[in-house]
Amino acid sequence: MERDAQIVIGPDGTVLAATGELPPGLVDAHIEDFAGLSREIRDAGKTLLHQLRLSHDRVLSRSVALDGSGRSVQVIAIEALALHRTATEVRTLLASKLNVLRSQATAAGVTLRVAVAHEVPAVVKLDAHKVAWAVTTLVGNALRYMQTGSRRISGGAIDVRAGFDRASAELTIEVQDDGPGIPADTVARLFKRDSLNVRGAGLALLLMSDICVAHGGTIEVRSSIEVPGHGTVVRLTFR
């Protein structure tokens, strides 16, 4: 069967790129095939992908026959998180979203501080909703664990710091707390996707990782359960 084109689709079935000769109406005629393939890559997970012996565990390739033509189009599905980048004022975003958690922090005896370095541009292009969700979820999780803490007393601090590297055009947002910390063996497993029982904070961290990667960045977790010095730092980067 002759292949006359390639189409790259995202997790929602959206066509992200195409090469080769595409017959008129091809995308409309096969949109359900594309969407189905996207759902398959989301639902089947690594088991199916390993069976197909793919080199990348988040890419799935199939050929879709073109009705009556004897040709086919290669459809490449990628599990890339779709972004809606807009010009975003980072200072305003952090202030407005984290103000919602201030009363909760105050009630728990926790100090919530936000600092934005002067290097951070007035406006950065990013998916504001996804970045805001990631930061507020980190602060909310830290606050939840700090309420029980390891020092058997109320109080503590959560610091949210935003910085910017002009050379790499990389925005960094760190959330640091002095809560009970995370054991080293748990930190090592935080971003492993081979567990079918990822729940709660673990699932949230996987989603945050996807958000960072979609922005061309990374996520890093450093933590200690030692006293003194216990606590956790989560560093998000976006480009």
pLDDT higher than threshold 50 for residue 218 = yes
Q: Give residue 68's Cα distance to chain centre.
A: 41
Beta bridge partner(s), residue 9:
15, 77
DSSP string, 181-233: ---HHHHHHTT----TT--HHHHHHHHHHHHHHHTT--EEEEEE--SSS-EEE
Which pLDDT belongs to residue 189? 80
Tokens of 13: 């079935």
Position 107: which residue type? A
Tokens of 108: 């728990």
Cis preceding linkage at 23, omega within 30: no
* pLDDT, tens only, 55-104: 334 555 666 665 556 667 676 666 556 788 999 999 999 999 999 899 88
All structural domains of the chain, each given as residue ranges with its CATH number in brackets, are 2-78 (no CATH), 86-238 (3.30.565.10)
Distance CA 33, CA 36 (A): 5
Structure-model confidence comparison of residues 190 and 150, the more confident one: 190
Rounded (5°) CA angle 213-218-224: 140
Q: What is the DSSP letter of 10?
A: -
- pLDDT confidence band for 233 (50 / 70 / 90): very high
Distance CA 238, CA 129 (A): 14
Distance CA 180, CA 148 (A): 8
**Residues 80, 84, 85, 87: what is their CA dihedral angle, to the nearest 10 degrees?**
-170
Mean pLDDT along residues 2-14: 59
Q: What is the DSSP letter of 125?
A: E
Which pLDDT belongs to residue 165? 95
Count of helices and strands (H, E) across the chain: 6, 11
To the question of pTM greater than 0.75 for the whole model, the response is no
Distance CA 84, CA 215 (A): 10
CB 22 within 8 A of CB 6: no
